[in-house]
Amino acid sequence: MSPTKPTILIATDTPTFDIEPWAAEGYSIHLLTHATVRGIEDAADDLESNDKYGIIAFGTAATAALQFAIQPSRQLQCVAAYYPPTLPRTNFQPGVQILLHLPSDSPFSTPASPSLRIRLYSSAAGFADGSAPSTYNRISASLAFSRTLALLRDCIGSVPGPGRDLEALWDGHLLAKFSDRDAAATTSALAPGATVLHVPTLTGASGEHGLKRFYDEFFIPGTPPSLRITLVSRTVGADRIVDEVVVSFRHTCEIPWMLPGVEPTGREVEVPLVTVVAVRAGRLVREHVYWDQASVLVQVGLLERGTLPVVGAEAARKVLDERVVEGNKLIKEW
């Protein structure tokens, strides 16, 4: 018997709403457009008596959802309220977790409650509405989505399925990319519209065709066979993974993604590298990779230390063991 999908009531103050991102995360969705307190009450009454559920609400519908959350309910577990124009003056039920997504210039104070969390955004109200270009902000919307997803998983859970284990998904992608050196397997974990960006060199690609070409023609053949990765730390969120690693290799081939256009020098390189990965519906949708390009250029002989405040392989060695390299050498007064 397959597990029952956890239920979300999505309440909006608009006539339409794209429920697909939430349904793709394994939730059963009940959409209420132009939602009111009475409409939310009726929708909640229609649920099975033992169904625990959460509410995601936007704009004036968020105010209605918060008003509803004041009332006693054994089944309501959480409310994620996006930019409500007003807030209730009384406390929420203690068993209901409340997450407010508010513009940083919101003109009202928030009620004190142990179950209330507030997240502020440097965007106007409407930042999560993809149908409103004048207010939509991709970064704020993505942050709010991640935070709401974490709330839902904590409060009402999720249905296990392919890609729900973020570490297994990411580790499989790394294995295909660096060990198997298989472009097809590497891109199989990526969503059709995914983006890969190596920030220091602006290399990578977006979309299915571009990513297949990038990995097949540039990344995999342009990764030295000697490359080794040492995981230093890993942070896993509801839909994010952040890896801190040390990469080491001998520069025996051109590396288009890290040293484009640079002929092999045969030199050893060690550099700390951080990857930030976003996951949606069990697929990788974004991969941003950061490292200190000055350190790499020093180690391959393209940048002289001289009077520049740059370091070489000692940065990687200190990340691996802070005791082995003395710090603050570039600060003359230290």
The answer to whether residue 66 scores a pLDDT higher than 90 is: yes
pLDDT of residue 112: 66
Taking residues 148-166, report their average pLDDT. Answer: 84
| CATH code of 235's domain | 3.10.450.50
Residues 143 and 260 in one domain: no
The answer to whether residue 244 scores a pLDDT higher than 60 is: yes
Residues 139 and 226 in one domain: no
Residues 150 and 191 in one domain: no
Angle between helices 37-46 and 60-69 (to 10 degrees): 60
Taking residues 294-321, report their average pLDDT. Answer: 94
pLDDT of residue 107: 78
Report phi then psi at 244, rounded to 5: -110, 120
pLDDT of residue 160: 67
Q: What pTM was computed for the model? A: 0.89
Residues 133 and 192 in one domain: no
Would residue 139 count as lying in a domain? Answer: yes
Residues 131 and 273 in one domain: no
Would residue 252 count as lying in a domain? Answer: yes
Would residue 304 count as lying in a domain? Answer: yes
How many C-beta atoms lie closer than 10 Å to residue 252's C-beta? 14
Q: Among 48-57, 135-144, 250-259, whose mean pLDDT is lowest? A: 48-57
Residues 177 and 276 in one domain: yes
Residues 139 and 277 in one domain: no
| CATH code of 69's domain | 3.40.50.1820
- Which long-range contacts (C-beta less than 8 Å, at least 24 apart) are formed by 320-323? 320/230, 320/232, 320/246
Taking residues 170-197, report their average pLDDT. Answer: 95
Q: Among 135-144, 156-165, 229-238, 300-309, whose mean pLDDT is lowest? A: 156-165
Query: Which of the residue ranges 44-58, 93-107, 243-257, 319-333 has the most confident prediction, judged by mean pLDDT?
Result: 243-257
Taking residues 271-295, report their average pLDDT. Answer: 96
Domain end residue (candidates: 155, 187, 215): 155
- The string over 271-305, giving b where at least 16 C-beta atoms fall within 10 Å of a residue's C-beta and e elsewhere, is bbbebbbbbbbbbbbbbbbebbbbbbbbbbeebee
Taking residues 216-245, report their average pLDDT. Answer: 97
Query: What distance in Å separates the CA atoms of residue 11 and residue 8, rounded to the nearest whole number?
Result: 9
CA-to-CA dists, residue 139 to 28, 127, 143, 151, angstroms: 26, 9, 6, 19
Mean pLDDT of the chain: 92
Residues 190 and 104 in one domain: no
Assign 1 a pLDDT band (cuts: 50, 70, 90). very low
Domain end residue (candidates: 132, 155, 178): 155
Cβ atoms of 66 and 91 closer than 8 Å: no
The answer to whether residue 45 scores a pLDDT higher than 50 is: yes
Selected residue with higher pLDDT from 272 and 45? 272
Residues 228 and 121 in one domain: no
pLDDT of residue 3: 55
The answer to whether residue 166 scores a pLDDT higher than 80 is: yes
The answer to whether residue 113 scores a pLDDT higher than 80 is: no
Assign 161 a pLDDT band (cuts: 50, 70, 90). low
Which of 119, 167, 117, 116 is CA-nearest to residue 141?
119
Domain end residue (candidates: 130, 155, 180): 155
Residues 30 and 64 in one domain: yes
Would residue 163 count as lying in a domain? Answer: no
Q: Total domain count for the chain?
A: 2
Assign 148 a pLDDT band (cuts: 50, 70, 90). very high
Would residue 329 count as lying in a domain? Answer: no
The answer to whether residue 21 scores a pLDDT higher than 80 is: yes
Would residue 107 count as lying in a domain? Answer: yes
What residue numbers bound the domain in which 208 lies?
A: 170-320
Residues 182 and 208 in one domain: yes
Would residue 333 count as lying in a domain? Answer: no
Would residue 200 count as lying in a domain? Answer: yes
Taking residues 217-244, report their average pLDDT. Answer: 96
Taking residues 279-285, report their average pLDDT. Answer: 93
Residues 103 and 200 in one domain: no
Taking residues 51-62, report their average pLDDT. Answer: 94
The answer to whether residue 111 scores a pLDDT higher than 70 is: no
